[in-house]
Structure 1
Amino acid sequence: MDIDGVLYVGDAPVAGARETLAFLEEREVPFRFVSNTTRRSRRSIAERLAGLGYRIPADLIVTSPVAAVARMRERGQRRCFLLTTGDVREDFEQEGIAVAEEDVDVVIVGDAGENFTYDRMNAAFRLLENGAELVALEKDRYWMGGDGLMLSAGPFVAGLEYAAGVRAEVMGKPSQAFFALALREMGVSPDGAAMIGDDIFTDVGGAQAAGLAGILVKTGKYREEVVRRSGVTPDLVIESLAALPEYL
């Protein structure tokens, strides 16, 4: 399951979502939360969900920063330039990855919000020109904030790709490796799992490309006209996560 737009929208929990999670737990249906949210560490995501009435342990949350840390450690990389906001750097530093401004192995871009300034983008561009690799924690186009649609990291990643003539490796959805990470934790195969999200491209399309069923909820960023133009056909469309038990 996605988190933002599925469990909550803005600062409000989705009605009936907590009951659906209880339903799954009672029937011992395994689940994980796979999120492209890059403004918070995995720990603070769990804390925020607790504030919304959800009791979700941090180890059930699979995030793209955690995947990026694993990627760097596998390749023996120890220094990164981090273009994000919030406390997400905690996920890197607690695993021994130095967040630096120069001599880095990787430029890592998430949803940086107001930190997407010309100076920060230009600093990232120069590091890429000097040989650093480009990693996108997510490449979503936009997300639903409390006061309307908000630009996500995707447009800024695309700008860096264009300027530096490189291609970003995407850590979060719709990366097949990212879905595979969550599946391994649950011990299930793609054909025995479904992804539930509000993004027709990264959630539904990405999941289907990885061999999972894709379920689209009409909460969060859902827009009928976007779905109609997407070329992606969900396996199921439901009003919200609250409706899921009807189909299990």
Structure 2
Amino acid sequence: MTELTGIKGVLIDLGGVVYSGDTPIAGAAEALARLNEAGLPYRFLTNTTSQPISGILAKLNKLGIEAERGDLFTPSLAARSYLETHDLAPHFLVAPALMEDFEGIAPGGSEAVVIGDARDGFTYDSLTDAFRRILDGAAFVALASNRSYVGSDGRPCLDVGAFVAALQYATRTDPVVLGKPSADFFHLAAADMELEPAEVVMIGDDYEFDALAAIEAGLSAIYVRSGKAPPEETDAGGASPTAIRDDLAAAVEHILTGK
């Protein structure tokens, strides 16, 4: 681990950092208020694909955390831009609620399978349909590739990455991943604050997809212990977070004071 230097902006994961399930994590709201008082810009960078942006904002506001659409970076925003830029017609395997983020999207010329956290939508039939479309030439777009998330009961749940990996294995096709751990995703969020990656620190509870991915993308990173437990072993090639703290409050304290 190394010292934080030259930090001018912060990226903050949501699940396991700001809230756990439907419960705010102690001290999170106060930590965000400290960043506001210090004039340090931040963005919520989340791989959540089970609900639309409006749902995420409603949840934050319900928990007493004021946020606007421009404060969020989600895979659906990145996917919408990618689909339109590449003239792709999406076939969605996502949660029905997420379709709100794709309303009015321009029809594309060639097909793309877009997979997110479909939860109960992951059936043999739906996965086989996606498998056949990719075999027939459809582009393969994943909104995230996380292995797990912490459910409302506090226990780990299977995340979309397992289903992305299944399709990748079966089709022998690598997906375009538009959420974390994509370096482009981190860079877009940094650019939105008009900052360079080296001027930004990521705070997250996923050791691999938040902390190490941010380091790989040229950012600093603080891993917090308030969400997922780190893997017992990592294939990180010696990489490690810039710092490790208990929660968002302790991470913000470290950013502002070095403690």
TM above 0.5: yes
Question: How many angstroms does 1:86 deviate by?
Answer: 4.2
Give CA-to-partner distance per residue, 1:98-139, whole Å, 9 cap, x none. 8xxxx9611011111111100100110111111100011000
Q: What residue is the counterpart of 1:128 in the other structure?
A: 134
**TM alignment of 1:198-209, pairs within 5 A:** 198-209=205-216
Question: How many angstroms does 1:87 deviate by?
Answer: 1.2
The reply to whether residue 25 of structure 1 matches residue 36 of structure 2 is: yes
Give CA-to-partner distance per residue, 1:12-52, whole Å, 9 cap, x none. 10110001111111111011111110011112111111111
CA distance in 2, matches of 1:237, 1:30: 21
Q: What residue is the counterpart of 1:52 in the other structure?
A: 63
The reply to whether residue 90 of structure 1 matches residue 100 of structure 2 is: yes
When the two chains are superposed, the root-mean-square deviation of aligned CA atoms in Å is: 1.6
User: CA separation of 1:97/1:215 partners in 2, compared to 1, >3 Å: closer, same or farther?
Assistant: farther
Secondary structure in 2 matching 1:139: coil
Assess if the C-alpha contact under 8 Å between 1:81 and 1:104 holds in 2: no
Assess if the C-alpha contact under 8 Å between 1:69 and 1:97 holds in 2: no
User: What is the number of equivalent residue pairs in this alignment?
Assistant: 241
* Identical aligned residues as a percent: 38
Secondary structure in 1 matching 2:61: helix
Q: TM-score, normalised by structure 1?
A: 0.93
Question: How many angstroms does 1:229 deviate by?
Answer: 4.0
Give CA-to-partner distance per residue, 1:55-113, whole Å, 9 cap, x none. 11121100001101101111122x21111114111111243458xxxx96110111111
Question: How many angstroms does 1:246 deviate by?
Answer: 2.2
Q: What residue is the counterpart of 2:118 in the other structure?
A: 112
CA distance in 1, matches of 2:92, 2:36: 36
Secondary structure in 2 matching 1:173: coil
Q: What residue is the counterpart of 1:139 in the other structure?
A: 145
Secondary structure in 2 matching 1:237: strand
**TM alignment of 1:61-210, pairs within 5 A:** 61-77=72-88, 79-96=89-106, 105-147=111-153, 148-210=155-217
Secondary structure in 1 matching 2:129: helix
What amino acid maps onto 2:247 in structure 1?
S
For structure 1, list consecutive stretches of 5 or more residues without a partner in the other structure.
none
What amino acid maps onto 1:154 in structure 2?
G
Question: How many angstroms does 1:227 deviate by?
Answer: 5.2
Question: How many angstroms does 1:244 deviate by?
Answer: 2.4
Assess if the C-alpha contact under 8 Å between 2:222 and 2:251 holds in 1: no
User: CA separation of 1:71/1:30 partners in 2, compared to 1, >3 Å: closer, same or farther?
Assistant: same
Q: TM-score, normalised by structure 2?
A: 0.89
CA distance in 1, matches of 2:173, 2:136: 12
Secondary structure in 2 matching 1:211: coil
What amino acid maps onto 2:37 in structure 1?
E
CA distance in 2, matches of 1:135, 1:188: 27
Secondary structure in 1 matching 2:66: coil
* Match for residue 40 of structure 1 among 42, 45, 51: 51
Assess if the C-alpha contact under 8 Å between 2:224 and 2:251 holds in 1: no
Question: How many angstroms does 1:220 deviate by?
Answer: 1.5
What amino acid maps onto 1:118 in structure 2?
Y
Assess if the C-alpha contact under 8 Å between 1:107 and 1:133 holds in 2: yes
User: CA separation of 1:138/1:93 partners in 2, compared to 1, >3 Å: closer, same or farther?
Assistant: same
Assess if the C-alpha contact under 8 Å between 1:45 and 1:58 holds in 2: no
